[in-house]
Amino acid sequence: MFGLVVRFTCKDEASAEAFDRLVAETIEQIRRHEPGTIVYASHRVEGRPLERIFYELYRDRDAFEAHERTEHTRRFLAARDEYLASVEVDWLHLQDGKGVTP
């Protein structure tokens, strides 16, 4: 299993709304076309209206790389910077957990 957590900070409220629309379009395509993507969740952060956190789990590194090559992910990556002030990525290596196999 392979995962990451990404923190996005939007530029302003209008950018956050546009970013959320872009995310919704992208997640719909992930649901339809990515069997190797186990979890792809976008979260709002309580008390921080411009922040979003993605939690992503993939079957393995190959599934993540396949995700990165899809048209919908490339579109998301190309469009997102228009709305963002910053992006932080933490790469995860599963040790143990419920509902997952290390």
Q: Are 24 and 37 in contact (CB under 8 A)?
A: no
CATH number at residue 69: 3.30.70.100
- What range defines the domain where residue 34 resides? 2-91
Q: What is the pLDDT of residue 94?
A: 87
The CA-atom distances, in angstroms, between 34 and each of 4, 18, 40, 42, 66 are 16, 24, 10, 16, 8
Q: What is the pLDDT of residue 101?
A: 73
Q: What is the pLDDT of residue 82?
A: 98
- The tens-digit pLDDT sequence of the chain (102 residues) is 999 999 999 999 999 999 999 999 999 999 999 999 999 999 999 999 999 999 999 999 999 999 999 999 999 999 999 999 999 999 998 888 888 776
Split into its structural domains, the chain has a count of: 1
Stated pTM of the model = 0.93
Residue 1 has a CB neighbour count (10 Å cut-off) of: 17
Three-class DSSP category at 2: strand
Q: Is residue 102 situated within a structural domain? A: no
